[in-house]
Structure 1
Amino acid sequence: MRRAFAVLSFTAAALVTLTVAAEAQQGRVQAGVLECRGGPHVGMVVGSVNNLGCVFRSEGRPDDLYVATVTKLGLDLGITDQTALSWVVFAPTVQLGRGDLSGNYAGVNASAAVGVGLGANALIGGSANSYALQPLSLQGQTGLNVAAGVQSLELRPGR
């Protein structure tokens, strides 16, 4: 029963994520890729907070470093050893300056891991909600975890 609930929750959230991602990129151009990595994470029943180190990569410009704080509200149970996320960044223009992605983002999340796991999330935010983060690939994690719900991401310039 728990496994069926987890699969159903994951599938529903993934479908919502893909719908939000398709709507989010309208009127924007692909500006680059944001990659984030994090260490151990413990999910609580109603949510969690996780810190990640991120780098924005775009052709013809130096890497731009960020620190991300990810907050999840909804089902988030378990422990993961590490997390890796990648998003295609859609922006009003491909010409982004250092720190331009800084700001708050929101969207939906779905993930599951037993040993090695997968997840997906799509986010909209930044300055005047002008940026969209669409999953480039599925989230990778190792550990034992299931999560589905609303997710927020705060990006700050890194060093």
Structure 2
Amino acid sequence: MHKAFIAIAATALAFPAQGWSATAQHSKHPHQTVAAQQPGQRLGTLSCEVNGGMGMIIGSNRGISCSFRQQGRKTERYTGSIGKLGLDIGISGKSYLSWVVVNTKPTRVGQGDLAGTYVGASADAAVGLGVGANALIGGNARNIVLQPLSGQTGTGLNIAAGVSRLQLAATRR
């Protein structure tokens, strides 16, 4: 498991800030806008609120609600869950995560395109106030990286480290 943890983290961090030249993919959805012509471009910021809960020693699963801000576009809302497989001991209150969202290949991003499953490495600790880090890759087309590491703040008495899985679904407003 230690090797898998390192491999996932290395993959998520391996994407450069500026990438290789490539042509844009064509979208089937006319409401989408071209967000990035080259890999490694910033698409926006994903900010999430994670429900509090109790670690179950070898894992946890908590509800999450997020907003994605892409420059020049309306804020998109997502809900879902975030879970950890690995060490997770203690009780935590509500916490907040924020990621820089980048692409892994030329892509178009529109309403609901961040929906999907993301996996990667995570670690966090709290004694009163807490901090943490999460590096994830995924999305429906596996073309989105939540990178390089999220910022996380929260409260509780908790320690956790392992492989994380984030599941997002678009919400309509």
Report the TM range for the smaller structure's normalisation. 0.7 to 0.9
Question: Residues 111 and 65 of structure 1: is their aligned pair in 2 closer, same or farther, counting only changes over 3 Å?
Answer: same
Summarize deviations over 1:59-108 as a string: whole Å, max 9, x none. 10000000021111000011111110000001245741000011111001
Shift of 1:127: 2.2
Rounded to whole Å, the distance in 1 between the matches of 2:72 and 2:15 is 25
| C-alpha RMSD over aligned residues | 2.2
**Which among 87, 102, 116 is matched to residue 103 of structure 1?**
116
Tell me: CA distance 1:22–1:104, structure 2 relative to 1, closer, same or farther (3 Å): same
5+ residue gaps, structure 2:
20-38
Alignment of 1:66-85 (within 5 A): 66-85=78-97
Given the alignment of the two structures, is residue 22 of structure 1 paired with residue 6 of structure 2, yes or no?
A: no
* Secondary structure at 2:74 match in 1: coil
**Match of 1:47, SS?**
strand
Preserved contact between residue 30 and residue 89 of structure 1 (Cα < 8 Å): yes
How far apart are the structure 2 equivalents of 1:32 and 1:93? 15
Which position in structure 2 is the counterpart of 1:147? 160
Q: Is the 8 A contact 1:31 1:93 kept in 2?
A: no
Runs of 4+ in 1 over 3 A off after TM superposition: 15-21, 92-95
Q: Which amino acid aligns with 2:170?
A: P
Identity value in percent: 44
Q: Work out which of the two has the higher radius of gyration on C-alpha atoms and give 1 or 2.
A: 2
| Bigger helix fraction | 1
8 Å contact kept, 1:34–1:57: yes
Residue 66 of structure 2 corresponds to which residue in structure 1?
54
Please report how far the alpha carbon of residue 136 of structure 1 lies from its aligned counterpart in structure 2 after TM superposition.
5.8
Choose which of 131, 134, 138 in structure 2 pairs with 1:125. Answer: 138
TM-score by length of 1: 0.83
AA at the equivalent of 1:22? L
Using structure 2 for the length normalisation, give the TM-score.
0.77
